[in-house]
Amino acid sequence: MSSSELQALSPGRNVALGVCGGIAAYKAVEVLRGLQRAGCTVRVAMTKRACEFVQPLTFRALSGSHVIVDDYSPDNPDPIAHITFSQTVDLLIIAPATANIIAKFANGVADDFLSSTYLACTAPVLIAPAMNTTMLEHPATQRNLRQLRADGVYFVEPDAGEMACGTIGPGRLSEPERIVSAALEILARPAQANDLAGERFLITVGATREEIDPVRFISNRSSGRMGFALAEAALKRGAAVTVVSGVTSVDPPAGVRVVKALSADDMLKAVASEAGKASVFIGAAAIADYRPAQRAEQKIKKSNESITLTFERTPDVLSQVAASRANGMLVVGFAAETENVLVNAREKLRSKNLDAIVANDVSRVDSGFDSTTNVITIITNQESVELPAMSKREAADRILDAIVRMRQDT
Question: Smallest Cα–Cα separation from 182: which of 93, 112, 96?
Answer: 93
Burial 55-87 (b: 16+ CB within 10 A, else e): ebebbeeebeebbbbebeeeeeeeeebbeebbe
- Neighbouring residues of 236: CB distance < 8 A, sequence distance ≥ 6: 152, 193
As to burial, measured by CB atoms within 10 angstroms (0-12 exposed, 13-18 middle, 19+ buried), residue 43 is buried
Q: Is 40 a catalytic residue?
A: no
Backbone conformation region of residue 300, classed left if phi is above 0, alpha if psi is from -120 to 50, else beta? beta
Query: Measured in whole angstroms, how far is the alpha carbon of residue 182 from the centre of its chain?
Result: 12
Other CB atoms within a 10 A radius of the CB of residue 325 amount to: 18
Q: How many angstroms separate the Cα of 404 from the Cα of each of 45, 282, 396?
A: 35, 14, 12
Amino acid making up residue 175: E
Taken in order 187, 193, 194, 200, the sign of the CA dihedral is: positive
Catalytic residue among 20, 40, 121, 165: 165
User: How far is Cα 145 from Cα 136, in angstroms, rounded to an integer?
Assistant: 9
Beta partners for residue 202, in sequence order: 242, 281
Beta partners for residue 44, in sequence order: 17
Residue positions annotated with a catalytic role: 165
